[in-house]
Structure formats: C-alpha cells, structure tokens
Amino acid sequence: MADATPMTSTAPVVARASESEPVDRTRVLAVCLVVGFATLVDQAILTVAVPSMRGSLPARTSEVQWILAAYSLAFAVALVPAGRLGDARGRRSLLIGGVAAFSVFSIVGATAHDPDVVVLARLLQGAGAGTANPQVIGLVQDHFPGRERTRALGLYATVGAFAAVVAPLIGGTVIGVAGTPDAWRWVMVFNVPFGLAAAVLGWRWLPRRTSVPRTADLDLPGLGLLAAATVTLLVPVVVVSGGGDRSTGPAGIPTVVYGALCVLAVLAFVVWERRYARRGRTPILLPELVHNRGFALGTAVAMFTFGAALGSSLVLTLFLQEALGLTALHAGLVSTPAAVVGGLASAFAWRITGGRGRSAVTWGLVAVALGTLATIALVLLAPPTVAVVGIAIALALTGAASGLSSVPNQSLTLGHATAGAHGLAAGFLQVSQRISSTLCIAGMGGVVLASAVPGDIPAYRRATAEGLAVTVVLVLCGLVCSWLDRPSHPTTSVPTTSAVLTAARP
C-alpha cells in the first residue's frame, strides 16, 4: 500500500537561497533521495525482525506493540510543525538535525536491553524522520521549477517504491548473515550510514538560509490534542489486542477511561481547530476540509486502507516465520512480488484505470477484500508449501489492486482542497494515514503476538486469520466510504503531483 503524499509545504515559501548563492540542484536532489530512502524504508525493514526481537529482547507483547507503533506515531506528530517551521525558518538545519537524530536514536534503540528504552528510542527516531521528511518535498518545491519539479518528485517516488521492495529482502539478509539471536539489532542500525551520509551531505550541499526568518504558525495546542487523542486510543488498542487483563491499562487506569479521554480529546481538537481558524490562524485541519464531503470520505478511505495494509503485512510476516518456519529472507521474498506489482500499478494507475475516478477506487477495494479473503482461506486450510506460494500470488494481486485504487483516491481527495490549502490537505492526509498505521500495526500485530506461540501451527493459523479478518473489515469500511462518495466526483480527474508521489512507500 502506498504511503500518503509526503508532506508538502503548508504555507507560501518565505525563504530561498539568495541570488549570490548558486544552488547545485543535482546535489540537492541527491540529499533528498538519500533522506527519503532512509526514512521510508525503516518501518518495513523492522517488520521481518520481529521474531528475532521477540526471541532476544525480554519484552512483553504490549512492549513489542509499542516498539512497532512508536515510529509511526512520532512521525505523524512531527510532520505538521516541521513542515511549517521549514517554510518559515529554512529547511537545511531541520533536515540535517532530523536525519542526525534519526541516526543517533537508531543506534540507541539497537544497543538497548530494556524494552522501554527501545520504545523511547523509536519515538525519537520517528520524530527525527518526521522532521526531515517535510523538508525533502519543500526543497524540491523551492529549487525545481515546472517539469524539472515533476521529474524530481518522480525520482523521489521511485526511491520510495524501491525502498518498499528491498526492505524485507535487506532485513532478511542482515538477519541471516548476522546469525545471532540479537540479529534484529543489526537491522535497526541498517539505516544509520544513510542517515549520517544525508546529514553530512546536507551540511555541505544544501543552500544556507540568507533571508529574515518569519514566525511559523505551528498550532501547538491543536497538535497536542491530536497527539493526545491518538495515544489515548492506542492504549486501549494495545491492551485489548495484547491479551492479559483487558480491563486495566497503564498506571492501573481502567481501559474505558482511556477511551473516554480519547473522545474528549477528539471533541476538544475539533472545537479548537474551528476557533483557531476563526481567529485567522492556520490550523492543522481547516474546518472547510472537514465539512467537504469528498475530502472527508476520501481521507477515511485512505486511513482504512493504509493501516490495513501495514497491519496485514506484519501479521503475514509473523505467520510465515513463526508458524511455517521460513527464514526472514524467504519471508521477505514472499512479499516482494506484491511490492513490485503495487509500485508499478501506482505508477501507471491513471493510464490503466482510464480516468474512471471514484469507481476505480471502489472496484479496487473490492479486489483487495476478495484477495484478503483468499489469503485467509490459504492460511487456515492450505498445507505449508501451498500456503506460501498461494499467499505470494494473493499478495501480488491485492498489491496491484491497492496500487490502482490508492492513486485515484489521493488525487480525488486532494482535489477538494481550496486554493492555497493543498499543502494543508496533503499534510493532514499523511498525518491521518500515519495515525492509522500506528493503530493497526499495534492492534493487528498484538492479536497474533498474544494468541500464538512460535511453532504452534494450528494456533498461529487461527490468530493470523483473526488479524487478517480485521483487514477485511477495514477495507470494507473504506469501500463503503468510497461508494458513498461516488456522486461527488466527475468520471475523470487530472493526476496531480500528489498522484505521482503516491508510489512512495512507508
């Protein structure tokens, strides 16, 4: 499943390199591509290392869930303020600082022996990635005009798609070569050379800011309320899916209290955003976007499908390794055709669908749901060898359907943004998808981690089928939202920059 549109500028660009400072655009693009590869490959590469992590790190199921979800959570929270700070105060220092923090905390997490330290390191690593990522698109917008900008963004999308293809293969290879119970630590530091290289090259090659800094409208109260709503929802998800006592969460607080706090945080967020906008400020989410039927339904489609894709990928990776006994590399090879086909489908979606717009999204989601149901049947009924081959084929088909539906959905959704609000709409779309991935990775992974023991094939079959059933429900929810949105779109739509960027992978 493709990632949301990478964070674009959320305000008019107020700073560029001075006329006296020549900019080598080839070097600028090289830095951007290295940053994009390092930050987008991270979540996918760690997925294949979960069995190794479970075997060597003294972590409970809930702690593994937090380790997996922390990166996306912090990434989402950092995106909006980092994008606006880059617009207002310059992108160079934020990109360098972001990738440097990403690299340093990768090392901290890889060398830690306390699960809580690993969780904290993943949070800070995600914050660094979320700080650097918006600067990439901002730099391309600042320094590449017209068709050159489209080519640069296309290269960025290609790097993102390539990261999705090679991540499980690299992770599996690293684990196989390391050959130790702590092999997951080497997977976690794989990105460090890329991050450090990006920081050094950014320091040498990116233009320095010469204009006067402006004040950035960060909407910190809105950001805090959104983060609070996500965390208070994530806690019940982890508690309920992780087994054990489901009535009590951290600090001995009843789970239902966390749910009530989540509802209050969401209500407070909506009220605050409206008030903030009425004061002439720039909120995280413009009220007019909330009231726009097409944008709201399209965002819901993206949220449901993006989270479902990442959650199901984790569930199947665990099944292939811990139930069927595949190595991390072989498990990565099973998912590789899906990544390749999905990337190609995303790149050519508009040509293949013929501009059918919302109907292409709806029928694509039907295919994804059917493919996931077929995967469930293979998990429950097929002998191991047949299951492996069948899952690879089913994943390739669902990957193609997902690629063909995600590009039109994002383009149609962002097409509802009013003039001057495209960056805000794209930013919120990516934030919403990151939040969705946080919840689904934690929840769906927890269902399997808490219910099955490595080597117990019957228990793993049932747990995996339950996790994939959640995927089907989420995809059907997205399907309903897409169907409800059918009257609000014309049958054709012009692909935008966001459609090109959709090929970027998490």
Do residue 446 and residue 365 come from a single domain?
yes
Within a domain: 5:
no
More confident residue, 343 or 12: 343
User: Are 302 and 4 within 8 A, CB to CB?
Assistant: yes
User: Are 486 and 362 within 8 A, CB to CB?
Assistant: yes
Do residue 130 and residue 113 come from a single domain?
yes
Within a domain: 19:
no
Domain boundary among 230, 265, 281: 281
Within a domain: 16:
no
pLDDT tens digits along 257-297: 988 999 999 999 999 999 998 888 888 888 888 888 999 99
Domain boundary among 229, 251, 281: 281
The confidence score (pLDDT) of residue 152 equals 85
Do residue 189 and residue 298 come from a single domain?
yes
More confident residue, 8 or 462: 462
Within a domain: 20:
no
Do residue 148 and residue 70 come from a single domain?
yes
- Flag whether pLDDT at 463 surpasses 50: yes
The confidence score (pLDDT) of residue 173 equals 92
Do residue 174 and residue 32 come from a single domain?
yes
Do residue 356 and residue 414 come from a single domain?
yes
Do residue 424 and residue 332 come from a single domain?
yes
Residue 312 vs residues 76, 227, 305: alpha-carbon distances, Å: 20, 24, 10
Do residue 258 and residue 188 come from a single domain?
no
Q: What is the 3-state secondary structure (H, E, C) of 356-418?
A: CCHHHHHHHHHHHHHHHHHHHHHHHHCCHHHHHHHHHHHHHHHHHHHHHHHHHHHHHHHCCCC
Rg of the chain over all Cα atoms, to the nearest angstrom: 21
Within a domain: 275:
yes
| Distance between CA atoms of residues 37 and 504, nearest Å | 9
pTM: 0.85
Q: What is the 3-state secondary structure (H, E, C) of 234-251?
A: HHHHHHHHCCCCCCECHH
Within a domain: 63:
yes
Within a domain: 33:
yes
The confidence score (pLDDT) of residue 148 equals 86
Model confidence at 311, pLDDT cuts 50, 70, 90, reads very high
- Flag whether pLDDT at 84 surpasses 90: no
The confidence score (pLDDT) of residue 61 equals 87
pLDDT tens digits along 39-80: 888 877 888 999 999 888 888 888 999 999 999 999 998 988
Segment 409-438 shows an average pLDDT of 83
| Distance between CA atoms of residues 53 and 167, nearest Å | 17
| Distance between CA atoms of residues 88 and 385, nearest Å | 56
pLDDT tens digits along 391-402: 999 999 999 998
Within a domain: 227:
yes
- Flag whether pLDDT at 458 surpasses 70: yes
Model confidence at 354, pLDDT cuts 50, 70, 90, reads low
Q: Which of 3-7, 283-287, 372-376 has the highest mean pLDDT?
A: 372-376
pLDDT tens digits along 203-245: 999 988 655 566 667 888 998 999 999 999 998 888 888 766 6
The confidence score (pLDDT) of residue 378 equals 96
Q: What is the CATH number of the domain that holds 442?
A: 1.20.1250.20
The confidence score (pLDDT) of residue 89 equals 83
Do residue 98 and residue 232 come from a single domain?
no
The confidence score (pLDDT) of residue 228 equals 92
Q: How many CB atoms lie within 10 A of CB 146?
A: 7
Give the distance between the most distant pair of CA atoms in the chain.
68
Angle of CA points 403, 74, 66, to nearest 5°: 90
- Flag whether pLDDT at 416 surpasses 90: no
Residue 86, SS3 per DSSP: helix
Domains identified in the chain, total number? 2
Q: Kindly report the backbone phi and psi dihedral angles of residue 18, in degrees, each rounded to the nearest multiple of 5, phi listed first.
A: -70, 165
Runs of H (alpha helix) within 144-182: 146-178
Do residue 188 and residue 104 come from a single domain?
yes
Domain boundary among 264, 281, 298: 281
Return the minimum-mean-pLDDT range out of 65-69, 134-138, 163-167, 207-211.
Answer: 207-211
DSSP conformation class of 138: H
The confidence score (pLDDT) of residue 482 equals 93
Return the minimum-mean-pLDDT range out of 5-19, 135-149, 477-491.
Answer: 5-19
Q: Kindly report the backbone phi and psi dihedral angles of residue 248, in degrees, each rounded to the nearest multiple of 5, phi listed first.
A: -130, 135
% of the chain with per-residue pLDDT over 70: 88
Which residues neighbour 481 within 8 Å (Cβ) at sequence distance 6 or greater? 297, 298, 300, 301, 304
Do residue 45 and residue 61 come from a single domain?
yes
Return the minimum-mean-pLDDT range out of 18-22, 82-86, 141-145.
Answer: 18-22
Structure tokens at 251: 């600090």
Cα–Cα nearest to 187, from 57, 2, 337: 57
Intra-chain end-to-end CA distance of the chain, in Å: 9
Model confidence at 4, pLDDT cuts 50, 70, 90, reads very low
Segment 143-162 shows an average pLDDT of 82
| Distance between CA atoms of residues 339 and 401, nearest Å | 12
% of the chain with per-residue pLDDT over 90: 47
Which residues neighbour 420 within 8 Å (Cβ) at sequence distance 6 or greater? none
- Flag whether pLDDT at 472 surpasses 70: yes
- Flag whether pLDDT at 320 surpasses 50: yes
- Helix (H) or strand (E) holding 116, with range, is helix 115-143
Range(s) of the domain holding residue 356: 25-209+282-501
Axis-axis angle for helices 293-318, 384-414 (nearest 10)? 160
| Distance between CA atoms of residues 275 and 270, nearest Å | 9
Do residue 252 and residue 394 come from a single domain?
no
| Distance between CA atoms of residues 303 and 474, nearest Å | 9
